[in-house]
Structure 1
Amino acid sequence: MGSVGAVFVLLSLALLSVLGVPPIGTQPEQVHISYPGFPGSMEITWTTFNETDESTVEYGLWGGRVFELTAKGNTTLFVDGGSEGRHMYIHRVTLTNLRPASAYVYHCGSEAGWSDVFAFTALNESCGWSPRFAIYGDMGNENPQSLARLQKETQVGMYDAILHVGDFAYDLHEDNGRIGDEFMRQIQSIAAYVPYMTCPGNHESAYNFSNYKNRFSMPGRTEGLWYSWNVGSAHIISISTEIYFFLDYGLDLIFKQYEWLKKDLEEANRPENRAERPWIITMGHRPMYCSNNDKDDCTQFQSYVCTALLSVCLLTGVDLELWAHEHTYERLWPVYGYKVFNGSMDQPYVNPRAPVHIITGSAGCREKHDPFVPNPRDWSAFRSTDYGYTRMQVYNTTHLYLEQVSDDQYGKVIDSIWVVKEKHGFSAWFSST
């Protein structure tokens, strides 16, 4: 064998030996952050595949001494429900006493392995600031078309939080949870920098939503199925629409969520609370209404979700309802009970007399798009099959802005509205009807 051939063989063997080395099981990965629901806090969550002695976050103010602060948390063993029974360790550390609106740098792990260095901005606790959101559902590990644009926009500071309205990875549990691992690695470049707030979708149902419940860390003690949090002049409520469809996992969940939602909305409607945070926004995976042609729940007159939630959302003056599930974008006129209640003919979203609904499930997944019916009902205002996502900014107590970004059209804004409400609550829209 010639010298060149010998070198080639040696290099090939060296490469094979490197590729054959298994990953270090104590190395942190899938890092993401979320808002725990109380002032001055942020929760850091990550995964390792071997147990470590501790779960630690080292952090500090941007521009200050690097990692001058340390917080410790806990580890939970998660056993995936697939045939292999794969083990993974979910680490959670809650940072407290953060300086509002201040930037921090951090890394997480232990002496057995540390993550890359990331940064986040602690949430502004003022009711007077204007938080900015990216909103979408139904983003998969395969064909996540909007992901690259969202990664860049997040890292240049365009968003204060992400709202992922159900359906992750397609699916988190597939290949014994490996698809979930890949997806969580994909979104790390977003979710390690801004709070990644979620709700469950139908694609999370395997093993009683166990991958969703274990991988994400949301406020409250409901395993992320439903919760609420305050940001700026908005009170945001995340609910599970899936409890109405997967009854084998517990009929009692329907009653528990309803009682919790009723109590949460009553608290949010106390005069002093509604004065501070007048915008009440809900997010849930399956929409009440849609004009798609796939025989999903929202295509039926009196859908399950509509029947379950319509009255409680109306009577407590919910302003905006965010949905996904349909792999399209659709904006509705202000609607209640399949009837349009615009503010006026010329300005439908100025003092609307019913909640505004947005369906944003077109971030990109392997199931591609859902078709629309040719002739939508009167309550459908705008619809698109472009891949994309929604941006929202809660400007102040009276003005909220929404726009739809088309990734197919290189980031072009294809739809936008201002929702203007001089008065919030039930009496604001139905007292004159």
Structure 2
Amino acid sequence: MQKKIAIVVGVFFIGILNIFWLAYDGDVQNIPIVLHRVQKVSQVHIALGKEENSIQVMWTLKEDGKDCWIDMDGKKISNYQKDILEYLGNTGKPYKRFLYSSLLNSLEPATIYSYKISCIVSNITISSQKFSFRSPPSQNSTITAISFADFQTNYYPDPKDKYSKTKKANILPHLYQISKSLDNYDIILHAGDIAYDLWSYNGLMADHFMESIEHLSSRFPYMTVPGSHESFTNFTHYKKLFQPQNSLGLFYSFNLGYAHFIMLDSESFVGRLHTEEMIENHMKFLKEDLETNIQPWTIVISHRPIYCNPNPLCKVCTTACTQYSSILSGYLEDLLFQYNATLWISGNVHLYERSMPVYKNEIMQFGINKFENPPAPIYIVNGVAGNFDTEDDLSSVGDEKMPWNVVASESLGYGKLVVHNKTHLEWIQYAIGKTQQDSPDMIETARTRIIDEFFIIKTDN
């Protein structure tokens, strides 16, 4: 009798622990091994598919799922592809996850769909929560994007690590607010340096980051380019997590509304692993893409900038705004000018900076908040989402800013891009707090304010 009671108590205790783990969002290395086996569908994120009116849904399991499907508004979708992400993390311990993707085709434009992901793992059906997204709008529609770069979500599982000594602020609390309505944005543009870093703590940093942004990435297409921090595993984690089968690649382009987006892999040109072959492939793609583009607005997303202020107190600027920017300019700037690109949006430098229309360091049109038929691109650096490395400093720049520079700020924040129609485009930069050194608690309750806004008007379309 006592043995039976002990078994019942033991089963009950394990059940309580399993419930705890389902709600737990921490370091699995510090959790009893019995909890490691509890499974959940996690890291749900969506992206635009290759085909028009398509969405790619992606998710992660810690153990192999024998069968998965998506329930979307009463329809069961069982077509999916599976991959395994496996490598040694930064401390030499193995990381292994099972990655799944399903392509949803022939969606009605600008229509809200609800979906839930289910998988069978160890003969048990597990499911995600119910999510919703709005399908891509029709071609002749206003689109709104949120744009940022250099973004982490404050996960500190190792108290001995130098990064864990001070909790750092980021824009995550504000992303929660703006993602509550599907009417706010059509797409997310993340210009590299993701999680700081995907492979840190043997991949647990990536797990935490993706689960932290799930409220955003499950609702809006989360479009990315690789940054310098994604190269530490030769882009393995990045490629499999964000660019699985049937997707777009490390560099790609897509149309949305009146805009043509070119997602460049700047690491192919100046990254520590770049090769001549990578440069040639990228240039071939870019030339062909620009030649065939017929959209009125061309917007380039890249991690590394072409234009930013050289600054001796800015850790990254010593090379980013001199050596690397010159290399990128040499390969790309003539093409951008020739094909009348509109914007270049980047990160890498942990500041916000914005130029006037500029070509070869020459201002092509003077202005502050309004530009009409600009003959050259406007360049934006927006690496202020809250990084896990170091903040960059404007104090040594002062009045020595480059002549083409309009705004420079240290404030934490993000950008909003609105392509209203074929004649009007708008950019708004929101700042939170005074600097990136503000306390996370203060940032969480701070109000956003506009520190930069400009319009581009085209009358020659």
The TM-score normalised by the length of structure 2 is 0.81
1:120 to 123, 128, 133: 133
Q: Which amino acid aligns with 1:415?
A: D
> Distance in 1 between the 2:245 and 2:142 partners?
21
> Distance in 2 between the 1:237 and 1:404 partners?
21
**Paired residues of 1:76 and 1:91 also in contact (CA < 8 A):** yes
1:172 lines up with 2:194 in the alignment: no
> Distance in 2 between the 1:347 and 1:366 partners?
32
1:320 lines up with 2:378 in the alignment: no
Report how far residue 230 of structure 1 moved.
Answer: 0.5
Gap change, CA 1:192 and 1:136, over 3 Å in 2: same
Gap change, CA 1:253 and 1:345, over 3 Å in 2: closer
Report how far residue 220 of structure 1 moved.
Answer: 6.8
1:370 lines up with 2:383 in the alignment: no
**Paired residues of 1:25 and 1:50 also in contact (CA < 8 A):** no
For residues 330-375 of structure 1, the C-alpha deviation after alignment (integer angstroms, 9 at most, x for no partner) is 1111111111011x55875122121111111101122342112221
Name the counterpart of 1:282.
300
Question: 1:128 is paired with a residue of what secondary structure?
Answer: coil
Question: 1:45 is paired with a residue of what secondary structure?
Answer: strand
> Distance in 2 between the 1:24 and 1:419 partners?
54
Name the counterpart of 1:135.
147
For residues 312-343 of structure 1, the C-alpha deviation after alignment (integer angstroms, 9 at most, x for no partner) is 2111211111111111111111111111011x
Name the counterpart of 2:443.
none
Name the counterpart of 1:233.
258
> Distance in 2 between the 1:324 and 1:219 partners?
27
1:106 lines up with 2:115 in the alignment: yes
1:191 lines up with 2:200 in the alignment: no
> Distance in 2 between the 1:334 and 1:214 partners?
36
> Distance in 2 between the 1:122 and 1:286 partners?
30
Report how far residue 54 of structure 1 moved.
Answer: 2.2
Q: Which amino acid aligns with 1:366?
A: F
Structure 1: runs of 5+ lacking an equivalent = 1-9, 61-66, 269-273, 425-433
Gap change, CA 1:221 and 1:154, over 3 Å in 2: closer
The TM-score normalised by the length of structure 1 is 0.86
Q: Which amino acid aligns with 2:384?
A: S
> Distance in 2 between the 1:371 and 1:265 partners?
36
Report how far residue 386 of structure 1 moved.
Answer: 0.5
Matches within 5 A, 1:243-254: 243-246=268-271, 248=273, 250-254=275-279
Gap change, CA 1:189 and 1:43, over 3 Å in 2: same
1:84 to 83, 93, 96: 93
Larger deviation: 146-155 or 388-397? 146-155
Name the counterpart of 1:5.
none
Gap change, CA 1:394 and 1:31, over 3 Å in 2: same
1:68 lines up with 2:91 in the alignment: no
For residues 280-310 of structure 1, the C-alpha deviation after alignment (integer angstroms, 9 at most, x for no partner) is 1100001001015234434217622112211
Report how far residue 140 of structure 1 moved.
Answer: 1.0
> Distance in 2 between the 1:144 and 1:258 partners?
37
1:45 lines up with 2:58 in the alignment: yes
Question: 2:354 is paired with a residue of what secondary structure?
Answer: strand
**Paired residues of 1:292 and 1:326 also in contact (CA < 8 A):** no
2:412 to 360, 368, 387: 387
Question: 1:318 is paired with a residue of what secondary structure?
Answer: coil
Name the counterpart of 1:204.
230
Q: Which amino acid aligns with 1:286?
A: R
> Distance in 2 between the 1:30 and 1:296 partners?
36
Question: 1:313 is paired with a residue of what secondary structure?
Answer: helix
> Distance in 2 between the 1:366 and 1:35 partners?
28
For residues 5-47 of structure 1, the C-alpha deviation after alignment (integer angstroms, 9 at most, x for no partner) is xxxxx9xx88778564424454210000000132121100010
Report how far residue 200 of structure 1 moved.
Answer: 0.4
Matches within 5 A, 1:140-151: 140-142=152-154, 143=168, 145-151=170-176
**Paired residues of 2:47 and 2:56 also in contact (CA < 8 A):** yes
Name the counterpart of 2:181.
156
**Paired residues of 1:238 and 1:282 also in contact (CA < 8 A):** yes
> Distance in 2 between the 1:220 and 1:279 partners?
26
Q: Which amino acid aligns with 1:244?
A: F
Q: Which amino acid aligns with 1:36?
A: G
1:349 lines up with 2:367 in the alignment: no
Gap change, CA 1:27 and 1:304, over 3 Å in 2: same
Report how far residue 378 of structure 1 moved.
Answer: 0.4
Report how far residue 71 of structure 1 moved.
Answer: 3.8
> Distance in 2 between the 1:25 and 1:240 partners?
37
